[in-house]
Structure 1
């Protein structure tokens, strides 16, 4: 799914008040974390994740792996916080602008 600039801007504004629902800790990206992420994305569609990695390169690798494995789109990253979006095909909750 490809998002337009206005859709990304809209999702950023929607995510502004969200708190992280998934925390990536010392164990990194595990199968259990990916299952939790899948449940959160199916439930909310738009979520924030806190990635606890000290090195920027390590954090970027974790973010890339999370996006690849989950099929979610990275909306933005601010420090350790990552915002992801994945449409729930069965029950869409967020209506995107055209």
Structure 2
């Protein structure tokens, strides 16, 4: 179910103070990066991802592929940082950034 504009606004506010927990660099979306991304989404639901990719078009492609593979949604994309969200199947209230 897609995020509503109000929910995206709320998550952008929450994401403002978050630090990137996953970094995607020159090797792109390796198995290790996707594993870490999925673990972070399971734990925190709302995370920032830093993309150390200079080409803007390639960066957008990587973000789209990352969101597709992780079954998450893009909340915001500013420069080389993307804020993404995926609802946890078993939310951990101590780790979640949205609860």
Same fold (TM over 0.5): yes
Aligned pairs (5 A) from 1:11-90: 11-90=11-90
**Alignment deviations for residues 3-28 of structure 1 (CA, whole Å, 9 cap, x no partner):** 11100000000000000000001111
**Distance in 1 (alpha carbons) for counterparts of 2:90 and 2:35:** 18
Match of 1:10 in 2: 10
TM-score, normalising length from structure 1?
A: 0.92
CA RMSD of aligned residues (A): 1.1
1:33-79 deviation line (CA, Å, top 9, x unaligned): 00000000000000000011111111011001100000110000000
How many residues align? The count is 95
Distance 2:35 2:9 in 1: 28
TM-score, length of structure 2 as denominator length = 0.91
